[in-house]
């Protein structure tokens, strides 16, 4: 029986599975090529311009509806993207994404401290340009590009930090 098996399958199992050092070297070189291609793909992705994204224009609110030193919540560009429109000084409007860049908790406006505050982990952002003032957020809040047209605040795009 064993002889017949050996005749039918003449290649020894261990010998069949044996990988020589040179084969291993070739395989590792192939793996090296794969990693190099992957790194090149990441570099290409990183080089894509994505600082500013343009979306459809959307009327946010009448400028008169935003209280001075107050805020108005809205969504842009999608209905699921919460944003906040501020008027820190009369006639000066700024808008930001309302998602904290740490863990996406909604930030709230604190005009007394001139900041946007995240109550989840004590993160805070500047009301002027959204940069991080304190806490764990790793980057500034994305800024919503706005224009004032005929007394209305119009959102035109999103500028990432």
Partner 1 sequence: MRSPASFRKRQRSTVFVSLLLFQLVLIILQLWLFISALEGILAHEPGMAIPGAIVSAICLAANTWMLLGLNRTDHEH
SS (H, E, C) 3-32: HHHHHHCCCCHHHHHCCCHHHHHHHHHHHH
Does 39 sit near partner 1 (CB under 8 A)?
A: yes
Stretch that binds partner 1, among 6-14, 38-46, 57-65, 145-153 (CB under 8 A): 38-46
Does 51 sit near partner 1 (CB under 8 A)?
A: no
Does 46 sit near partner 1 (CB under 8 A)?
A: yes
Does 52 sit near partner 1 (CB under 8 A)?
A: no
**Of the residues 22, 78, 79, 90, which one makes contact with partner 1 according to CB under 8 A:** 22
Does 103 sit near partner 1 (CB under 8 A)?
A: no
Token pair 């994505």 in the structure block, residue: 50
Work out the end-to-end distance of the chain between its first and last CA atoms, rounded to an integer number of angstroms: 74
Does 49 sit near partner 1 (CB under 8 A)?
A: no
Stretch that binds partner 1, among 17-25, 61-69, 85-93, 119-127 (CB under 8 A): 17-25
């Amino acid at each position: 029986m064993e002889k017949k098996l050996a005749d039918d399958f003449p290649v020894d199992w261990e010998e069949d599975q044996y990988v020589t050092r040179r084969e291993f070297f070739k395989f590792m070189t192939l793996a090296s090529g794969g990693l190099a291609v992957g790194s090149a793909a990441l570099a290409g992705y990183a080089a894509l311009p994505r600082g500013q994204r343009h979306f459809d224009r959307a009327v946010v609110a009448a400028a008169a509806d935003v209280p001075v030193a107050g805020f108005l919540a809205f969504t842009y560009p999608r209905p699921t993207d919460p944003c906040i429109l501020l008027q820190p000084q009369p006639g000066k409007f700024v808008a930001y994404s309302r998602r904290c860049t740490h863990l996406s908790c909604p930030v709230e406006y604190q005009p007394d401290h001139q900041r946007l505050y995240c109550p989840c982990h004590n993160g805070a952002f500047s009301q002027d340009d959204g940069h991080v003032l304190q806490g764990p957020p790793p980057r500034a809040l994305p800024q919503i590009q706005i224009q004032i047209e005929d007394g209305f605040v119009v959102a035109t795009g999103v500028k990432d930090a």
